[in-house]
Amino acid sequence: MVYLDGFDHQTGSHCGSAALRNLAEYHHWGLDEAACFGFGAGLGFELLELSGQKWAAFRPCARSFEPAFFERMRVPHRVTEETD
């Protein structure tokens, strides 16, 4: 995990867009949370079927939200997934 000296976490309206806003503020990109939300693809929904469950998980934004933000902003990034 990478830690950024001087990074100040602030809460926001939504987890992903607030985290991206915090990162944008750290790098002085001049983006508020709404802009980060828009660059990350804006409003969208995802329904995930859960193995062995009778119900599905509902996400109010796509799993590609953060990678889409970085791609649109042309910020080099790496996506990794954990098994747990």
What pLDDT is attached to residue 20? 93
Separation CA 45–CA 9 (nearest Å): 26
Half-sphere exposure at residue 22, Cβ-oriented, CA atoms within 13 angstroms: 16
Show the low-confidence residues of the chain (pLDDT under 50): none
What pLDDT is attached to residue 3? 82
Every domain of the chain and the residues it spans:
15-73
Q: Which residues of 2-28 are buried (b: 16+ CB within 10 A; e: fewer)?
A: eeeeeeeeeebebebbbbbbbbbbeee
Instruction: Give pLDDT tens digits for 69-79.
Output: 999 999 999 98
* Stated pTM of the model: 0.73
